[in-house]
Every structure is written in structure tokens, then in C-alpha cells.
Structure 1
């Protein structure tokens, strides 16, 4: 099982209470399930509005169960940002 780092930004970071943490997950769906299990409160709600980068590449509309994770990879959790 790949070991990945999930890195939280903005509202996701505030809801998780940490900037990043490790998880064992083969797909983005597995990683997000593990995140929800560890943080069942506000972060679960924030995740519904987030976009994700896998090793710098946007996930877009791909099904999370189809997005494979590499050992040592990074999942970036990006809530919507206000622009100016």
C-alpha cells in the first residue's frame, strides 16, 4: 500500500488542525476515506467543496477511485479560494 502525504490548505488546514499528515492509500478515494475517518467533523464538510492535486497534477472531474497514488506522493487538498 502506498504511503502518501495529504497536505491541507486554507479552510481544510484549519478544519484538520494540521498542515499535513501521512496515510496509506492506493487511490484518492481511499485517502479521502481515511481523512474522513480521522476527521469526522468540519473537515468532512470542507472536503465536499475542495479540489485536489496529486503530485502537482489536478484531478479535475476524474472519479476519485480511478486516481492512483504513488508511494511517497502528495495529495493537496484545496478549498475554494477568494480572489481579488
Structure 2
């Protein structure tokens, strides 16, 4: 298990009710599952996560399975929901 920070942006921040929180997990899948189980988080939060892109220490996760993305000690996970704009 590693400890680090999850940072939420835009709609993810609104759905999470916070801009950032700690993680204590071995993989991205584990960190996201734990975050989704936080008390008071609605289905909207899980829907935002399903549509989001992720960076781990600035590196895009892309299409890799989240259970194969190992989180580093002291790492930062960025949760980036789809952005509107032009």
C-alpha cells in the first residue's frame, strides 16, 4: 500500500465535495474504489469517475486497466472529468 493524494478537478471536485484527499492504496482501482465508498458520496460521484481521465504523477493512465496502475508512495492522482469548451 502507498499513501498519496487524489486531486479532483471541475465536475469531479463538485461531486467529491472536496478538491483533494489522501489515498492509501496499492493501485489506482483500489484508490478510486475507496474514494467512491466515502460516506455521503452519491452515485453522481461514481458516474463522474467512470467518464474521467487520470494522471498519476503527471503521466496519463490512458486505457490501461486501473488495477494494473501501481500507485507510488507520495504520488498524486489527478481526476480529470471531460471538459466542455471550444
Fold conserved (TM > 0.5)? yes
Aligned length: 84
Q: Show the counterpart of 1:51.
A: 53
* Root mean square deviation of aligned Cα: 0.9
Q: Which of 29, 42, 45 is equivalent to 2:44?
A: 42
Query: In the alignment, is residue 22 of structure 1 matched against residue 31 of structure 2?
Result: no
**Tell me, what secondary structure is at the counterpart of 1:77?**
strand
Q: Which runs of 5+ in 1 are unaligned?
A: none
Q: Show the counterpart of 1:71.
A: 73
TM-score (norm 1): 0.95
Structure 2: how far apart are the matches of 1:66 and 1:51? 15
Q: Which runs of 5+ in 2 are unaligned?
A: none
TM-score (norm 2): 0.93
